[in-house]
Chain A
Amino acid sequence: MATSTNGTATSYIERVREPRWLNSEDAEVGSYAVKSGLAQMLKGGVIMDVVNDEQAKIAEDAGAVAVMALERVPADIRSDGGVARMSDPNMIEAILKAVTIPVMAKSRIGHFVEAQVLQALGVDFCDESEVLTPADHEFHSNKWAFKMPFVCGCTNLGEALRRIGEGASMIRTKGEAGTGDVVEAVTHARSVLGEIKRLQHVPEMELMTAAKNMGAPYDLVLEVARTGKLPVVNFAAGGIATPADAALMMQIGVDGVFVGSGIFKSGNPAQRADAIVQATTHFDNPDIIANVSRDLGEAMVGISSNELPESEQLAKRGW
């Protein structure tokens, strides 16, 4: 796996992790294998935003594979305005204690000290997130420097590969968080997956130009062209509010879904959470999706993302 038959395209990820990976005498913690491996364990699952330990328990009981601990769900961040920052450590710790599933928490883009704090608290996964107010206009955090894995948002393949190049162990679409409108998540997932398909048909001599045009590391572009997939797990996020939304994203080809405001801003969170979990597992079985979609009560009210002025579009944050 480390060397390809044509002798050119050694995997970027394989090379980065090679020194720790081969014949290690003792146990290695925080290596790329264990960081990206946790993301692989989340596949086919639903990650739910929660703002307190009670919601975290509801999410765990409903079958969430992980919870995202934050003070306000994106819909509230949107309506409250102001600067959105990392959550209070007390609140994160209460959630870490309340559940046995992995706990994620958000840092601002480029705010590596918030990420250091999350790692010190024992958070299992950091989301360097455009939902919070960016702390750096130019640079994202160097995620190789952490033993805690990171997930980052993207709107297209170049952005996904830049984040992976910085050390992200998992990628998600940005979508448009806090709207309950799935259209941007669909757009971003189709963009990433479509660009991957196109790359597979690009002759090798054109790949450097492809890398230049998408602003992505050349090694990663080569790897994607060769394997036809991202080297890390790829989830959908931003606007997923119903079981059918979740199954739609899965059929389009993502590995799992994040549901933010969609659950605890709805009429019956426990039942909706359960229904979204079932629909994610049985994403290709419309009879089951029909059954779990009955009588869920009010979905979150939602905002059409077309009606958002550019200044309020969270997906425009980061690059």
Chain B
Amino acid sequence: MPLDIGVLALQGDFQEHRAVLESLGAAVIEVRLPHQLEGLDGLVIPGGESTTIVKLVHRWGFPDALRRFKEEGGAVWGTCAGMIVMASELLEPDPKPLSLMDIKVSRNWFGRQVDSFETDILVKGVSGGPVHAVFIRAPSVREHGEGVETIATLRDGTPVAVRSGKLMATAFHPELTPDTRIHELFLRLSAGNLPSV
């Protein structure tokens, strides 16, 4: 039985996630309304514009449905804007995140688009050497609660990927590179196969 994975398709690069997940054998649906979360093993909140996605998430009644999805054991992974959506708190006044994960996040931590960059990082739980990571107007985790583990940092120690149980958030975009290892890690989480923290 393939895993049933949803990709939140309100805005952003949801098709890129879909293509990678399908290439790994998952059954993928695009989620635009909350009832589509039923029966899914995992949900990806893609990259995109966080203010737009958060606005649409509220507009279409996702906050309660997503919290329920998480409480009932669904795995959730946010990339970039998705990390902002999942945060418990932002350093900035807007938008209002959904508190799916105990992380305090700052938007556009590295600057404007002209400061966007790519680099290699090591990710805990991912074997086979460094992951090539693309950061686009990326956020960063500034603080996190107990039970949340930092699984990747930049050379200067800035945390850029975190995990807690079946929840994962990355400040970068594995869906934009040919390397599928982070998506494979998320599918393992969705299947309930958790690497120990």
A44 to B117, CA, bound (A): 23
**What 1/0 flags go to A13-38 for Cβ under 8 Å of B?**
00000001101111111110111011
Task: Give A20's nearest chain B residue, CB to CB.
Answer: B118
A20 to B120, CA, bound (A): 12
Interface residues of B in 120-177 (CB under 8 A from A): 120, 132, 134-137, 154, 173, 176-177
B48 and A44: CB pair below 8 A?
yes
Known: A27-B119, A30-B114, A278-B59. A100 touches B135 (CB 8 A): no
Most buried by B among A41, A66, A122: A41
Say whether A149 faces chain B, with CB atoms less than 8 Å apart. yes
* In the complex, chain A residues whose CB is within 8 Å of the CB of B55: 61, 63, 277
Known: A44-B48, A102-B113. A34 touches B136 (CB 8 A): yes
A41 and B114: CB pair below 8 A?
no
Most buried by A among B13, B14, B135: B13
A24 and B119: CB pair below 8 A?
yes
B114 and A29: CB pair below 8 A?
yes
A44 and B10: CB pair below 8 A?
yes
Chain B: interface residue count, which band?
35 or more
Name the contact of B48 in the complex, choosing from A29, A35, A65, A148 (C-beta under 8 A): A65
Say whether B81 faces chain A, with CB atoms less than 8 Å apart. yes
* In the complex, chain A residues whose CB is within 8 Å of the CB of B113: 34, 38, 102, 124-125, 148-149
* In the complex, chain A residues whose CB is within 8 Å of the CB of B120: 23-25
Most buried by A among B9, B94, B112: B112
Say whether A293 faces chain B, with CB atoms less than 8 Å apart. no
Total A residues in contact with B, Cβ cutoff 8 Å? 45
* In the complex, chain B residues whose CB is within 8 Å of the CB of A299: none
Task: Give B133's nearest chain A residue, CB to CB.
Answer: A27
A44 and B114: CB pair below 8 A?
no
* In the complex, chain B residues whose CB is within 8 Å of the CB of A60: 51
* In the complex, chain B residues whose CB is within 8 Å of the CB of A101: 49, 51-52
A-B contact count (CB 8 A): 128
Say whether B80 faces chain A, with CB atoms less than 8 Å apart. yes
Min CB distance B90 to A, Å, is 11
Say whether A313 faces chain B, with CB atoms less than 8 Å apart. no
Min CB distance A220 to B, Å, is 19
Say whether A282 faces chain B, with CB atoms less than 8 Å apart. yes
Say whether B88 faces chain A, with CB atoms less than 8 Å apart. no
Known: A43-B11, A44-B12, A100-B107. A33 touches B114 (CB 8 A): no
Min CB distance A270 to B, Å, is 13
Name the contact of A41 in the complex, choosing from B12, B59, B154 (C-beta under 8 A): B12
Min CB distance A17 to B, Å, is 10
A65 to B54, CA, bound (A): 12
A38 to B92, CA, bound (A): 21
B117 and A28: CB pair below 8 A?
yes
* In the complex, chain A residues whose CB is within 8 Å of the CB of B136: 34, 37-38, 41
**What 1/0 flags go to A110-153 for Cβ under 8 Å of B?**
00000000010010110000000000000000000001110000
Say whether A281 faces chain B, with CB atoms less than 8 Å apart. yes
A277 and B119: CB pair below 8 A?
no
Known pairs A37-B176, A41-B80, A65-B52. 7 more at Cβ < 8 A? A25-B120, A37-B116, A40-B47, A41-B13, A63-B11, A63-B51, A100-B107
